[in-house]
């Protein structure tokens, strides 16, 4: 398991798409720029969903791993610069 400093943890184990992404969006929106969220999911579609969401929103997936059917993502909130 990573030793990254984490401001919040979101446990979405047992939830199916689209709930992990919807809950991630809500949680990240409540965080300050630069804070890190640790997201736990069991949805096998999560790696692709999280990557697509991060690319679309400008947030950064610092690291991810899969172990024993649990996907763990460390997501850094990054405000989109230059957007009005």
Q: Which residues form the catalytic set?
A: 17
Q: For residue 76, what are the β-bridge partners?
A: 36, 60
How many degrees, rounded to 5, is the angle at CA 16 between CA 30 and CA 6? 35
Unique residue bearing structure tokens 């230059």: 82
Hunting for tokens 């405000």 — which residue is that?
A: 79
Spatial distance between the Cα atoms of 21 and 33, rounded to a whole number of angstroms = 19
């Amino acid at each position: 398991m990573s030793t990254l400093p984490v401001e919040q943890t979101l446990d979405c184990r047992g939830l199916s798409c689209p709930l992990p992404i919807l809950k991630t969006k809500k949680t990240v929106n409540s965080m300050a720029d630069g804070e890190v969220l640790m997201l736990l999911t069991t949805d096998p579609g999560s790696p692709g969903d999280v990557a697509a969401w991060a690319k679309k929103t400008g947030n950064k997936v610092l690291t991810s791993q899969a172990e024993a059917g649990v996907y763990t993502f460390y997501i850094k909130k990054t405000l989109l610069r230059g957007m009005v």
